[in-house]
Amino acid sequence: MSMALPGSAKTKSTIADKDKQFVTIKLHRHRDSNPDTDNETSVYRVLKATVDHLETQRILPLIDNFVLTDGPERFHGLVLQPYAFSLQDLVKSKCLEDDDLPWILKNVLQALEFMHRRGVFHLNITTESIKLKPQTSHVFFELENKERNRPSDRKLNTAYPPGHAIYKSQTLDWKHGVWSSYLVGDVLLANFEEARQRSVTDVVQPAMYRSPEATLRLVYGPPADIWNLGCMMACVVLDDRSDLPLMWKADAKWSAGAHLQKITKTIGIPPIDIARTIGCSHLPNTGYRMDGNWNLSKGHAPRNRLREFTETHHPGFFLFLQACVKWRPGRRATVGELLRHAWIRNATSRQQDKWLKKVPAVTRGWVARAATA
């Protein structure tokens, strides 16, 4: 392996071997009681059991896996297909456009549909979990040249003899319009370390995107992924300056009770049985009494603010969001229903849009139909 290229977080890096074959290495410290098992590898094994090419199902493919031992520490490594960016990178770059949202969501939903049919739930969908793969490997060669011409900063770690170098990651230079230059070829779902193969009651989901049933430690499964996806994309479409109550401010301290109160102030009072469950949970600051009634000391009973946002903001997305965030898990839209949503169904990528503008109208109509088939 010749060099380190950019990674996301401290545990991932993209590298190239002498034959210029790029891969991504994801390395993490083992956490389970059985040192020979790894949840993400097990999930990949289930997903690969029925298909040869996970990329066709919008899943970032696993090429291989390995185990490293360093003194008392044990690390699991995954060798993955390379990717250039994550959705988080795209959001930070300010290059994300409104027309990109339904296309990205369409791909993520296709991945979730494949997972749910096999009894696997992601339960940790974040902007870092959505990977964007370029059409060509040219972007990786550019980064290789960048590393060769301006080597990364590094320091020597002497904690374990012999000392080894720690490199600072190279990053893409968004100022030169990388997103526009290398139109994304695939949007792929990744990061399955928290995925489950059965309904669970333990807390897994990211706090800000946590569904009501997960917050209350009730049994939850696929509908929790739908809630998670909707809330995560709301944070992408809006920002933490939004006055939608469900949006958590960057400096706010999260608590389960406050989270349930924010949900109430976003989508309104829940059915009485759910309200009683919240009231009897003994979580502070939920706003509910034990009989399930709203505590008027917290103000008037909240109305559904999400409907107001649908009328005044991005209507396509907020109609989609309304289908994702409902108190009862069974009332939320399924992945299949969301894929048939008008805002998602006809979504095309930037490169498809660019190509469609160059072809005759008759061909354009045929391609558009093929894309939505």
**Using an 8 Å Cβ cutoff, are 84 and 139 in contact?**
yes
Q: Catalogue all structural domains in the chain, each as residue range(s) with its CATH number.
A: 3-238+313-353 (1.10.510.10)
Give the type of residue at 106. Answer: K
This prediction's pTM: 0.83
Q: What is the pLDDT along the chain (373 residues), one digit of tens a residue?
A: 333 334 433 455 555 554 557 888 888 777 655 555 688 999 999 999 989 899 999 999 999 998 888 777 778 889 998 887 889 988 887 778 888 889 999 999 999 999 999 999 999 999 999 998 877 777 777 777 777 787 777 666 666 555 566 666 666 655 444 555 455 668 999 999 899 988 888 888 999 999 999 999 999 999 999 999 999 999 888 876 677 888 877 778 899 999 999 999 999 999 999 999 999 998 999 999 999 999 877 778 888 888 777 666 677 888 899 999 999 999 999 999 999 998 898 877 665 665 445 445 444 444 444 444 4
